[in-house]
Amino acid sequence: MSTATTNRTEIIAAEPVEALAAMLDIDVPFGIGDPVPPLWHWMYLLDRRRQSELGDDGHPASGIPAPPGPGRRRMFAGGRVTTYRPLVIGREATRVTSIARTVEKEGRTGPLTFVTVLLEISQDGELAIREEQDIVYRAPGTGALPPAPEPPAPPAGPTLSLHVDEPMLFRFSALTYNGHRIHYDLGWAAHEGYDGLVIHGPLQALLMGDHLRREGVDLVGKTYGYRFVSPMTKPQTLTIVPGQEGLDHGAESRSEAGAICAVSTLTEAPEAAAAREASHGG
């Protein structure tokens, strides 16, 4: 496992929360002392690299993580976010980034490199968020990705729909400082094997978690896991529905055609579960 780390410290400003709330067309408090909603930390403490350090695909060509070879196609496969306490607007926070593990495999279309990035965000001297992001690097080429499997019917419960168009893709890329060309460059999206602009996986993950928040499900003290099942491409209206075990345990992101493109789970944070078991044992 690599021992390299990067550190970034900044004031948690109000403007990113204001900006994302405006993009989503909702009202969220963003004054000094207000909490940043769970998962909205993805707009903070970003790696702002020089233009000259970007690769052809728009991602940094070095750093954490670094592509394992030239021409490898990058995919965000999923991750896990444990929120111990919300970030607070107006206070300084620090993010430490490192590589947790790297695994090489041979896939149907060639070599695959799985990289898990560990991010730990602290504020006021305490760990606020611990996150793992799973990144996959595929072989060069334009081979199409597999189609989405036939989905089961979603369980009954509240849903959240959002129309995602090109301006929204642009705005979310800007808010998260994501230069990956698959989200705004049709030619490059085709080069990577997609049939249209790709709707960000992190946008779908954030919406699944925000649907829980809006329905009164608390993400603090929990581990929110998410994985991307199939790409969602082209402007369309996506819908967040309850997961197969109900909304208290997670959600799904479904395309306009009903395909499951991302799934999420919500479980008690390991530390909270261990503390509860210890108190019961005592």
Residue-range domain boundaries for the chain: 5-281
Identity of the amino acid at 186:
L
- Angle CA(131)–CA(134)–CA(139) in degrees, nearest 5? 160
Identity of the amino acid at 30:
F
Structural tokens at position 92: 């300084």
CA distances from 96 to 36, 71, 101 (A): 19, 28, 15
Among 147-156, 176-185, 209-218, 228-237, name the one with the lowest average pLDDT.
147-156
pLDDT in tens, 9-46: 999 999 999 999 999 999 999 999 999 999 999 999 99
CATH of 5-281, one of 2.60.40.10, 3.30.70.100, 1.10.1060.10, 3.10.129.10: 3.10.129.10
- 149 versus 124: the higher-pLDDT residue is 124
For residue 139, count CB atoms less than 10 angstroms from its CB and return exposed for 0-12, middle for 13-18, buried for 19 or more: middle
Distance CA 26, CA 114 (A): 36
CA nearest neighbour of 145 among 106, 195, 183, 98 = 195
pLDDT at 149 over 80: no
- At residue 148 the predicted structure's pLDDT band, cuts being 50, 70 and 90, is low
Half-sphere exposure of 230 (CA within 13 A, CB side): 17
- Three-state DSSP state, 270: helix
pLDDT at 203 over 60: yes
State the pTM of this model: 0.90
CA nearest neighbour of 135 among 108, 107, 101 = 101
- What residues contact 197, with CB distance under 8 A and at least 6 apart? 166, 169, 182, 183, 184, 185, 186, 189, 233, 234, 235
- Three-state DSSP state, 134: strand
pLDDT in tens, 242-278: 999 999 999 999 999 999 999 999 999 987 655 445 4
pLDDT in tens, 93-117: 999 999 999 999 887 777 889 999 9
- At residue 155 the predicted structure's pLDDT band, cuts being 50, 70 and 90, is confident
- Angle CA(30)–CA(121)–CA(230) in degrees, nearest 5? 85
